[in-house]
Amino acid sequence: MAVTNRDIIGRDYANDVDAIIDIARANDNPDEVIHTVVDNAEAIFTWNYDKGEREKLDRLYEKAKTSQWNATTDLDWSIEVDPRTALDLNMERALMGDFVDEPGSPVAKWGDDEWEEFGLQSIKWRLSQFLHGEQGALLCTAKIVETVPWIDAKYYAATQVVDEARHVEVFGRYLDEKLDGGYPVNPHLGLLLDDIINDSRWDMTYLGMQIMVEGLALAAFGFMHSVTEEPLLKKLLRYVMSDEARHVAFGVLSLAEVYQEMDAAEIRERQEFAFEAALRMRDRFLQQEVWEHMGIDTRQMVEFLLNAPEESKVFQRMLFSKIVPNCRKLGLLDAGDGWLRDRFTEIEVIEFEHLEDTGSEFIDYDLAEGDFDERSEEMQAAAAAAATPT
């Protein structure tokens, strides 16, 4: 019997509004501090300590050792941040397009005050989800150290654990000190993190975190870095992106070897998981919590956004500008009958497949690259061009 959308994502159609809203409302303990997930993995020792057997992973490890930065001393936390003046709160309105002013829009009657408050809440919400995603990466990378059988991968993953702790530190501190706190983890993101941790297979940890979650984060960080002029946030994002690109490259370089040895049924499982992860992350960025805070009917707004004109979805599509080419590099797009290509076409992100994969472009993000801003603009322009309907 063929596997259906309901088997994979729990609903028949990707844009089933009721199912999306039900997940967002399913958290019956939004104030929890400790969240427990069963980790089914086996710890793997390897007695082969021959460093450098996997040359590309070894180079990545050597680069990571010389690319560490200190969140306390390398960022100027004395910078005063007034979010209503230092951050571009109008950006969030611009991202949604002019269609939100049309009759029938749940926010058509909003004035400047409402849009300013929405901009502030939206930025706090985005940074909060970055924070929670980084803690997910912290746990997942620690799991990779424990479960991956290669010594070169264990070495590199250990450096990423340090990176992720630093990322949790900086996003948490920015939210607390500069924005007076943030939002709880979005249920769509939370369920995805649970699934990644719960799976016993180490390559699924790579796929879910290094390729999907970290890949989307890298694209989102790049966009925010390109539009913000707030100096502390801009430098914070620049530093985080230098680490994040290595993390995604780690996934690409590792899984490229693993997937060559898998049979068709195993690859199909990975395709299905990639699609499920993509849907959860897309649904997460509908930011239901912000609409609820603003007093807007969440179901009405989600339905409105999902049915928005194609030209207004450029930013949402750009979030997948790293994921799709990396899946292509790994052979997941066209494996078997091209199932994942069809799914990515269905959710309108296949246009990014020919952008550069992170396995080869991560060096562009290195802190030593003096022309990073110019290169970043080129990458953002390429992603925007691919995302814009023709």
C-alpha 39: how far from its chain's center? 22
Question: pLDDT of 268-293, one tens digit each?
Answer: 999 999 999 999 999 998 999 999 99
User: CA torsion, points 91, 209, 384, 97, in degrees to nearest 10?
Assistant: -40
Name the percent of the chain lying above pLDDT 90. 69
The answer to whether residue 34 sits within a structural domain is: no
| pTM for the whole structure | 0.93
Higher pLDDT, 78 or 285: 78
Average the pLDDT over 318-327 and give the result. Answer: 94
Mean pLDDT of the chain: 91
Interior/surface letters 337-362, b for 16+ CB within 10 angstroms, e for the rest: eebbbebbeebbbbbbbebebbbebb
Domain presence at residue 210: yes
Q: Is residue 266 pLDDT above 90, yes or no?
A: yes
> What confidence tens digit (pLDDT) does each residue in 197-238 have?
999 999 999 999 999 999 999 999 999 999 899 999 999 999
> Looking at the domain assignment, is residue 215 inside a domain?
yes
Residue 147 clears pLDDT 90, i.e. is over it: yes
Dihedral sign computed on CA atoms, order 43, 49, 55, 59 = positive
pLDDT tens column, 346-375: 999 999 999 988 887 788 888 887 788 888
Residue 119 lies in a domain: yes
Gyration radius of the chain's alpha carbons: 20
Instruction: Answer yes or no: is 30 within a domain.
Output: no
Cα–Cα dist 260/331, whole Å: 9
**What is residue 169's predicted lDDT score, i.e. its pLDDT?**
98
Band (pLDDT 50/70/90 cuts) for residue 21 is confident
**Amino acid identity at 237:** L
- Judge whether 31 lies within some domain: no
Q: Which domain holds residue 190?
A: 15-24+39-387
Choose the weakest-confidence range: 28-37, 155-164, 344-353, 376-385.
Answer: 28-37
Is residue 2 one of the residues assigned to a domain?
no
- Residue 323 lies inside a defined structural domain of this protein: yes
How far is the CA of 48 from the CAs of 45, 145, 325, in angstroms?
Answer: 9, 15, 33
Angle formed at CA 351 by CA 347 and CA 354, multiple of 5 degrees: 135
Q: What is the total count of domains within the chain?
A: 1
Give the CATH number of the domain where residue 91 resides: 1.10.620.20
Give the span between the Cα atoms of 129 and 187, in whole angstroms. Answer: 10
